[in-house]
Amino acid sequence: KIAPRNRKEFSLIVLTNENRILIGLKHRGFGKGMFNSFGGKLEKGEDPVVAACRELHEETGISVTVKHMTESKIGILHFTFEDDPVEMCVHLFRVNVSCCGHATDKADNAASEQILVDPLTIRGCDEITPEWIENFYHIPLHNMFADDSIWLTFVLASKKKVVLDGWFHFLAGGQEVNTIHHHFVDI
Ligand code: 6OG
C-alpha cells in the first residue's frame, strides 16, 4: 500500500494506569510547549503497530509487545489544515498499564495479560518529558491540541472499548479546530 504523497502517517498512544494518564510535554517539533500523548511519524515502510511500540519506548522507556499493541488499536484520527496541504493520518492506541515495583508481582502478573510497569523506570527523552496526571479531570486540555478535548475525553470516559474515526480540520494558526466528521462508538 503506497501512501499518497500529501499524507503523512503517525502513531499515537494514550497511556493510562487506572484513573491516571501519562502525557508528555513536548520540547521540540510539532506541538512544542504543549502536552500530548506519545508517538511520532512512521518510518519508511514501518507498520503503525511497530511504530507505536518504538515511539512509546523511545519517549517513556515503557515496553509493550507487538501483540499487545495490536490489541490496543482503537482507531484513526485524520487532521487537515487550512494552511498546509499535507493531511495527517494518526493511528491511535490505548494502553492501560499496571504499576508495580516488585519482581514477585511481575512473575504473578506475567500469566495475565497485564502490562506491568515499574514507575521508577519511566523516563523521557530530549524531545518529551512524561508526567502523570492523577485524575482525568485534571488533564491540561487548554495546553493540548484542540482535537483532544473531543476524542480524548470520550476515550477516557468510556467504560468499554471504543472505536474512533475522527476527522478534524484546523484553521490557520492551529488553535481552532472544526470537526468535519467523527464516529466514535463503544463496543
Ligand atoms: P512528531 O512530530 O513528534 O509526532 N499529532 C497530534 N496529536 C493530537 N492529539 N492532535 C493533533 O492535532 C496532532 N498532530 C499530530 C502525531 C507528533 C505526534 O503528535 C501527533 C504524533 O504522534 C493536529 O514525530
Please give all residues whose beta carbon lies within 6 A of any atom in ligand 1, as ranges.
10, 12, 29-31, 36, 39-41, 79, 88, 90, 145, 147-148, 170
pTM value is 0.91
Do residues 122 and 61 lie in contact, with contact meaning Cβ atoms separated by under 8 Å?
A: yes
Query: Quick one: CA dihedral 78, 140, 101, 109, positive or negative?
Result: negative
Do residues 148 and 60 lie in contact, with contact meaning Cβ atoms separated by under 8 Å?
A: no
Distances (CA, A) of 151 to 154, 173, 179: 5, 21, 10
Q: Tens of pLDDT along 112-125?
A: 578 999 999 999 99
Place of cell 506519545: 38
Mutation test residue for ligand 1: of 34, 36, 144, the one with most atoms within 8 Å of CB = 36
Confidence at residue 100, expressed as pLDDT on a 0 to 100 scale: 84
Q: How far is the CA of 30 from the centre of ligand 1 (A)?
A: 7
Please report the ipTM that was assigned to this predicted complex.
Answer: 0.98
DSSP string, 92-109: EEEEE-EE---HHHHHHH
Strand locations in the chain, DSSP E?
Answer: 7-17, 20-26, 35-36, 38-41, 73-81, 84-96, 98-99, 116-117, 128-133, 162-170, 177-186
Do residues 25 and 125 lie in contact, with contact meaning Cβ atoms separated by under 8 Å?
A: no
Mutation test residue for ligand 1: of 90, 95, 141, the one with most atoms within 8 Å of CB = 90
Q: Looking at the predicted structure, is the pLDDT value of residue 104 above 60? A: no
Top pLDDT among 113 and 34 is at 34
Q: Looking at the predicted structure, is the pLDDT value of residue 153 above 70? A: yes
- Nine-digit cell at 36? 500530548
Least confident of 14-28, 35-49, 86-100, 173-187: 173-187
- Nine-digit cell at 149? 478535548
Q: Looking at the predicted structure, is the pLDDT value of residue 126 above 80? A: yes
